[in-house]
A and B are shown apart, each in its own frame.
Chain A
Amino acid sequence: MVRRNGVTLVVALVVVLVSSMVIMAPWKAGAADKQTVKAAFVDQAPTALDDPAWQKAKVAEVPFEGKEKFKGKKVNVSTKAVYTKDSVHFLLRWKDATRSVTKGAWQYDGTKWSRLKGDEDRIALAFEIDRINNFATKGCTVLCHGPVGAPAKEFKLATANTAEKGDLWHWKAARSAPYNSADDSWVTVAGEKTGRKNDAGGGGDVENQTEDKSKPLYMQDPAKKASVPGFLLFEEAIKITDYSIFKAGDTISYRMPKKPSGSRGDIMAVSRYSDGEWTVMLSRKLDTGNEDDVAFTPKQRYSFAMAVFDDSGDEHSYDSEALSLEFDK
């Protein structure tokens, strides 16, 4: 009798629980009203742009709207994400009619040096390390806080207070791509100028110019073969001692990428430009253990925003709305 009662009780309980869960199912998803990039779990991290691991990820077509000189224009970035038990990877693909990788290179006309026009193509991702007020709903728009009266150009990217902290992943076609990395920086309250700080460690780039800014200071070390043809890496450069070796039409990079190290070199990048399209893969540990990096927990949903720069400086960009990053189980 007791046993029969126990069994019927269990059956009745399960029926009530299951039917209740079915009723509640539509409300389970929460209130994510913004575009979501879902990271698919893969056993093996992708190592290349065409790695089969990317087939597991759903593509999110993220719309970007132009600002300043790009106002009224739009760009779409096809975004995919996958993760392993210890790393996360993004695959970003967008149309760009021109491959811009010079960033104001020097050119010699036979008598003097001058800087060529032209910037570089870039893509940047911003995450929250510590919650940034309204970043989840307004994206990078809220990262415009500077000293009172300071022009916006000078304080681009800063949080409202020291409790807020952002993480910036910045792939630069001229300055980080040659080292297969994206520049890793973080965003805090503005000091005298920008609130953007480099992560601990080495990297970035060095301006290649003499003190009077009239000509380049460095050239490719003739004793070393350029490891990335077309780019002058700081580690492979030597000071120019004899400018007479140059002839008209010669060009030299103006910005020399430095080898990234430490926390600043956390983000690995693989990139390709073909058929009028950039494809960039960014990879990082889920948790680097560094205070200047966002630590991802796959159970959690993260807000992020992106910006694309087409041969342009910081103020001329295509910006996305605030996005969500979810890790599929």
Chain B
Amino acid sequence: MTSKPAARGFALKATWNQHRGKVLEQLALEGILARLRAWQAPSDVLTWTRFLGSLSLVLVLLLFASGVFMAFYYTPTPGAGYDSVQYAQYHVVFGDVVRGTHHYAWNLLLVVLGLHMARNFLVASYKAPRQFLWVSGVVVLHLMPILIITGDLLPWDQKGYWTTQVRTSIIASVPIVGDFMARLLRGGPRVGVIALTRFYALHLLVLPGLLVFLLAAHFHFLWYRGLSEPRDKNRTIRQPIPMFPTLLRRFLLLFILSTVVLGLVARQWPAPLGDPADPTDSNFIPKPEWWVLSLNQLVTMFTGPFSVIGTVLIPGGLAALLVALPFIDRSPERDPARRLQTLLIAAAILLVLATLSAVGYYEHFMKPVIPPRIGR
């Protein structure tokens, strides 16, 4: 005996089955759906050894979703920008959770992309024929700081304002093109309403569009070049699994888990929102964020005529090295034990960056400082 709702459900399903072919044909989706259904992936896709790429995608999706939500409330003008973010965070239902999710998602994305890259470096999956899979991934990683930098200014709080002021000053110090680039970003000598409009357009339109394009390129290479083979020769024959429903289920599990965990974290520890920006308050000293500590130390170390070393040559050289890695290290060898030279160079670079970060952490967060405000 079936209940009335269940009977209605069966009737709907029967109607759908009856008309599905026609609907899909009308929408010209039949071929795509058939290809997706037939698509299979190696069984170790999205397992504990290979989940960082999928987690990155989950975080990007969460960033897009939370960003769209915040855009509904945001006003891109100084002052009103702060008010709108404050309103969305404290007066809109789940506004704090959404903004917090956005905040923690980009922090986590940097970590996950770093680990994703490290894993692929260790197992040498950047080697032929997957060079451009690596290159597109590295470019995505390099796009993240630009997204973060443009997003930092949008709340128009003290930290965002003064951090942007410092960052654009660093850009301006780059010889020849620096001043032009800084003026292009700021629209003037200082960060103001034009800078906010430009950062807003970059953060909401240009950079997400570029990110989608780069991710499409990354998946294009992944689709045609496939996942790297496991190093364990006994496991080279991998049973394929269907995209529907197995892979989709794993992805949904990851998505739901990430959303719930980030949502809970955001609820418990809301995203920071400082005081409204005060361009006349030069006492405010912004502290560098964790991901930029090493670069910040480089800027501090090289001053005067040598500043270009810390602002352009070393960071640019490292970025170029990462992009060019598959074309420098062209041997087919993937066993870490037989790539000691490459691994040692990478470890040395990491050690230097970690040391710089540790020194930066000490100087900005542990070293006692004399408060800048000593009365009016």
- Chain A residues whose C-beta falls within 8 Å of the C-beta of B278 in the assembled complex: 134, 136-138
* B224 CB to nearest chain A CB (Å): 26
Q: Does B111 contact A (CB under 8 A)?
A: yes
A–B Cβ pairs within 8 angstroms, 21 of them: A5-B47, A8-B47, A9-B254, A10-B257, A13-B258, A16-B55, A17-B262, A20-B107, A20-B112, A23-B111, A24-B107, A27-B290, A32-B275, A33-B158, A33-B372, A65-B376, A133-B276, A300-B89, A300-B90, A319-B376, A321-B373
Hey, what's the 0/1 contact readout for B247-280 against A, CB within 8 Å counting as 1? 0001001100110011001000110111110101
Q: Interface majority SS on A: helix, strand, loop or mixed?
A: helix
Question: Which residue of chain B lies nearest to A16 when distances are taken between CB atoms in the complex?
Answer: B112
Is A21 in contact with chain B by the CB < 8 A criterion?
yes
Known contacts A26-B290, A33-B284: A12-B373 contact under CB 8 Å: no
B221 at the interface (CB under 8 A from A): no
CB-defined contacts of A8 to chain B, threshold 8 Å = 47-48
Asked whether any CB of chain B lies closer than 8 Å to the CB of A30, the reply is yes
The smallest beta-carbon distance between A92 and chain B, in angstroms, is 21
- B126 beta carbon closer than 8 Å to chain A: no
Question: Contacts of B83 on A, CB cut-off 8 Å?
Answer: 131
Task: Across the interface, name the chain B residue whose C-beta is closest to A164.
Answer: B79
Per the CB 8 Å criterion, the residue count for chain B at the interface is 55
Determine whether B232 belongs to the interface, using a CB cutoff of 8 Å to chain A: no
CB pair A17 B274 closer than 8 Å: no
Q: Count CB-based A-B contacts (< 8 Å).
A: 122
CA distance A65 to B373 in the complex (A): 13
Chain B 333-376, CB-CB to A under 8 Å as 1, else 0, gives 00000000000000000000000000001000100000111011
Residues on B with beta carbons closer than 8 Å to the beta carbon of A20: 107-108, 111-112
Closest residue to B54 on the A side, CB-wise?
A9
When distances are taken between beta carbons in the complex, the residues of chain B under 8 Å from A33 are: 158, 284-285, 371-373
Please, which residue of chain B has its CB at the minimum distance from the CB of A24?
B107
B46: chain A residues within 8 A (beta carbon): 9
Interchain residue pairs A-B with the least CB separation, the first 10: A30-B272, A136-B275, A8-B48, A31-B159, A31-B274, A137-B278, A12-B48, A300-B90, A137-B281, A20-B111
Given contacts A9-B47, A131-B83, A136-B276, contact A31 B158 (CB under 8 A): yes
Interface pair A31/B107, CB less than 8 Å apart: no
> Which residues of the partner chain A approach B112 to less than 8 Å between Cβ atoms?
16, 20
Bound CA–CA A30/B284 (angstroms): 13
| In contact, B158 and A13 (Cβ under 8 angstroms) | no
Which A residues are in CB contact (< 8 Å) with B375? Answer: 65, 321
In whole angstroms, how far apart are the Cα atoms of A19 and B278 in the complex? 34
What distance in Å separates the Cβ of B242 from its nearest Cβ neighbour in chain A? 13
Which partner residue on chain B sits nearest A10 by CB separation?
A: B257
Q: Which residues of A contact B286 (CB under 8 A)?
A: 31
- Among B79, B104, B257, B376, point to the contact of A321 (Cβ < 8 A): B376
Q: Which residues of B have CB within 8 Å of A12?
A: 48, 51
Inter-chain contacts of A321 with B (CB < 8 A): 373, 375-376
Residue A112 interfacial (CB < 8 Å): no
B30 at the interface (CB under 8 A from A): no
Q: A229: CB under 8 A from chain B?
A: no
Whether A9 and B250, one on each chain, are in contact in the complex, defined by CB atoms closer than 8 angstroms, is: yes
Which residues does chain A contribute within 8 Å of B361, judged by CB atoms? 26
Task: Report the nearest A residue to B109, measured CB to CB.
Answer: A20
Q: In whole angstroms, what is the CA distance A27 to B290 when docked?
A: 8
A131 touching B82 by the CB < 8 A rule? yes
Specify which chain A residues have a CB less than 8 angstroms from the CB of B285 in the assembled complex: 33
Q: Is the Cβ of B48 less than 8 Å from the Cβ of A137?
A: no
Give Cα A114–Cα B79 distance, bound, in whole angstroms.
52
Q: Does A303 contact B (CB under 8 A)?
A: yes
B91 within 8 A of A: yes
> Smallest distance from the beta carbon of B52 to chain A beta carbons, Å?
8
Is A23 in contact with B290, judged by CB distance below 8 angstroms?
A: yes
Asked if A151 CB lies within 8 Å of chain B CBs, one says no
Cβ of A141 < 8 Å from any Cβ of B? yes
Check A303 against B104 for contact (C-beta < 8 Å): no
Check B111 against A134 for contact (C-beta < 8 Å): no
Identity of the chain B residue whose Cβ is nearest the Cβ of A329 in the assembled complex: B268
Given the complex, which residues of B lie within 8 Å of A136, measured CB to CB?
275-276, 278
Distance in Å: Cβ of A141 to nearest Cβ of chain B:
7
- A44 at interface, CB cutoff 8 A: no
* Chain B residues in 8 Å Cβ range of A297: 90-91
19 other A-B residue contacts (CB within 8 Å) besides A300-B86, A321-B373: A2-B246, A5-B48, A6-B250, A13-B51, A14-B261, A24-B290, A27-B289, A28-B269, A30-B274, A31-B274, A32-B274, A32-B275, A33-B158, A131-B276, A133-B276, A141-B376, A297-B90, A297-B91, A319-B376
C-alpha spacing A78/B96, complex, angstroms: 32
Q: How far is the CB of A294 from chain B (nearest CB, A)?
A: 13
List residues of B (79-112) whose CB comes within 8 Å of A's CBs.
79, 82-83, 86, 89-91, 96, 104, 107-108, 111-112
Nearest-CB distance from A180 to chain B (Å)? 32
Q: Which residue of B lies closest to A139 (CB)?
A: B376
Is B272 a contact of A28 with CB atoms below 8 Å?
A: yes
A194 to B195: give the CA distance in the assembly, Å.
36
CA distance A299 to B86 in the complex (A): 11
Q: Which residues of A contact B107 (CB under 8 A)?
A: 20, 24
Residue interface mask B40-60, A partner, CB < 8 A = 1: 000000111001100100000
Interface positions, chain B 197-229, Cβ under 8 Å from A, are none
Inter-chain contact A13/B254, CB cutoff 8 Å: yes
Q: How far is the CB of A130 from chain B (nearest CB, A)?
A: 8
- Pick from B83, B96, B115, B269 the residue with the most CB of A within 10 Å: B269
In the complex, what's the smallest C-beta–C-beta distance from B250 to chain A, in angstroms?
A: 7
Tell me how far the C-beta of A113 lies from the nearest C-beta in chain B, rounded to whole angstroms.
Answer: 42
A23 surroundings in chain B (CB, below 8 A)? 111, 290
A321, chain B: closest CB distance, angstroms: 6
